[in-house]
Structure 1
Amino acid sequence: MDTIASAFKQTQRVVDDAFDATASAKAHLYLNFGSHRLRIGVLDAERNKFVALEDYESARPVTVEGAVEMLRELSNSSLLLQQQKWNQVRIGIKNQQFTLIPETLFDRNAREEYLQLNAVIEPDEEVISHYAHPRLELMNVFTIPNKLEQWANNYFAGSRVEFVHQTSALMEGFLHMAEPHAKPQLYIYVDKNYVTLVVLQNMKLEFCNSFYFASYEDFIYFVLFVLQEKKMNPDQDQVIVWGELLLDSDLHDVLRKYIRNVKFGKKPTAVGYSYRFETLFEHRNFDLYSLHFCD
């Protein structure tokens, strides 16, 4: 346990002065679960406002078992996870075990077959779930680690627990922020060694995928590939970026080298934020905030 606990370091923490952990039954708990990051947020349902956030990052990938063990550790030490009764618990899964199916073609009994087209499923270690996107007329089929599902359902036994894939949160968040455009619009979310690329056109999904990158060359290759596929012009068309990307980073420099019009995204609108959140970068935590729109 000491090894797992030492792998994760707290990188962000903001808590509203008026936050009352004992009032969790009137609040929503949002949790992002991945091999490099555990991010926890609380939204006051009565005020429709985010009031707390904690972020834990690991420098190296951690196994599912290790990340769940860290959650157990945090349930003893984190102000946010010490509470077990919430109005709602929604957990976003960060992995590449997902596929998108048109709503009209979706068959619940064929979910495993859909996933097997681009993922290796381990039935003893994960369960298959799906999330509906009515506005996009598609289904996101994805896997949930067994150990995470068991921990969440047991620990939050008195709460309504839901699971969605990170890409579902991002798509709903981008839809919320987007305006109808006749031309395709590229939205980029950068995570540690992963980049998710989403293209919307007239509020319809044209592309969505998540790529692993080990170098700057890999990263910009995927971005330019999608621009080319969607006939977008890197010298003219704007791209909007969210996630773990800093203005003075080498990754941002590479992006700006090949794309003229790069813009950092903002926090989602139509939901409030404690003034404490003003210390955080606007373009970070977007996948966590966007879990709020996965109703």
Structure 2
Amino acid sequence: MRLADTTQIISIKDERLDIDKISQYRLSFFVSNTECQIAVFDVKKRHLLLFEHLEFNPEKSITQNLQVLYDEHTLIAAGFWKEIQVFVRNKQFALIPIPVFDRSLASQYVRLNEVIDEKKDEFHYKLLDEAGAAVAIGYQSEIRAWFREKYPKLSLYINHQSVAYLKGIQEQLRSKTPASLYISLNNNEAQIVGYNFQRLAIYNQFRFSDATHLVKLMLLTIQQFSTEGQLTPIVLHGVKEKVDLNMPVLKKYFKHIELGKRPEGILIHPVFNELENQEYVEVLANL
């Protein structure tokens, strides 16, 4: 299906989605320059009711692509959701240990990792007590302005994909190993997390060209927090296409690698089994 310049890759709907009950549903967006995932979640019954994955027109801005969705997607244009949450997929982030974190320096933390424009970007932070870290994030001010214009009366929460993935793997942490690595593959970008005894040691995200390049980046990451090297246990998440493409090479280098699991605590109709268990963990864990 094509919505003007936006191509729909996945669209799965639970027929129990009821337009008359939208006031008890949460609408979630995961947006980047190139794609968007949308989910509808019944907060009261904890049911996933809709999941869509769309590719954006790369010649348009994020807000221009969102406008295409809004104009042509009847459900998204409804104005009486319980709340709206947005997770931004970009490189404007920084993780800081909570004991030394200064909330007034959010933009300066982000500047250490990525170019920012304080006239066009907004900054805030999220405390992750269970990880012992704060995430400072930045995103284009026009993104918040667009959502405020379209949903002026609703609660709006904006966060970063790092926060989403870190939450998504919490229940999958290896409790009996000194070090473990968690990685999510989406298109040609990887999110990678290292833990020592269930304490966050490192988070990063990067683009990779092929499986060999990915292995090198994984080994460089492991060297920064683990003495186990290629024996470090690895849990792999990501879209099926990229997991299937890269797994054969990864198995040659890493002896203890396994696929991740779907997050618990949400009710999913069998229609959503079109999604593999290791797919979209950062989305499903943050409905």
1-structure distance, mates of 2:197, 2:41? 30
Q: Kindly provide the amino acid, as one letter, of the partner of residue 50 in structure 1.
A: L
Once superposed, which parts of structure 1, at least 4 consecutive aligned residues long, lie more than 6 Å away?
Answer: none
Q: Of residues 53, 72, 75 in structure 2, which corresponds to 1:77?
A: 72
- 1:151 equivalent in alignment to 2:149: no
Q: Kindly provide the amino acid, as one letter, of the partner of residue 152 in structure 1.
A: F
Q: What TM-score does the superposition give when structure 2 sets the normalisation length?
A: 0.91
1-structure distance, mates of 2:281, 2:45? 20
- 1:226 equivalent in alignment to 2:221: yes
Is contact 2:237-2:243 (8 Å) kept?
no
Q: Of residues 235, 242, 259 in structure 1, which corresponds to 2:254?
A: 259
Q: Of residues 22, 25, 28 in structure 1, which corresponds to 2:23?
A: 25
In 2 relative to 1, CA 96–260 (structure 1 residues): closer, same or farther, beyond 3 Å? Answer: same
2-structure distance, mates of 1:209, 1:174? 14
Return the offset for 1:262. 2.3
In 2 relative to 1, CA 151–276 (structure 1 residues): closer, same or farther, beyond 3 Å? Answer: same
Q: How does 1:1-295 map to 2 (within 5 A)?
A: 5-6=4-5, 8-58=6-56, 62=58, 66-229=61-224, 230-234=226-230, 236-246=231-241, 249-292=244-287
Say what the alpha-carbon RMSD is for the aligned residues.
2.1
Deviates most, 72-81 or 14-23 = 72-81
Kindly provide the CA deviation profile for residues 198-220 of structure 1, in whole angstroms up to 9, marking residues without a partner as x: 11233210111111223333211
Return the offset for 1:247. 7.6
Q: Kindly provide the amino acid, as one letter, of the partner of residue 98 in structure 1.
A: F
Q: Kindly provide the amino acid, as one letter, of the partner of residue 221 in structure 1.
A: K
Return the offset for 1:182. 3.9
2-structure distance, mates of 1:157, 1:181? 47
1-structure distance, mates of 2:154, 2:35? 23
In 2 relative to 1, CA 114–72 (structure 1 residues): closer, same or farther, beyond 3 Å? Answer: same
Gaps of 5+ in 1: none
Return the offset for 1:79. 4.5
Q: Kindly provide the amino acid, as one letter, of the partner of residue 243 in structure 1.
A: G
Q: Kindly provide the amino acid, as one letter, of the partner of residue 54 in structure 1.
A: E
Give me the identity figure in percent.
Answer: 19
Deviates most, 177-186 or 277-286 = 177-186
Gaps of 5+ in 2: none
Matched positions, count = 285
Match of 1:127, SS state, is strand
Is contact 1:36-1:192 (8 Å) kept?
no
2-structure distance, mates of 1:90, 1:176? 22
1-structure distance, mates of 2:282, 2:75? 18
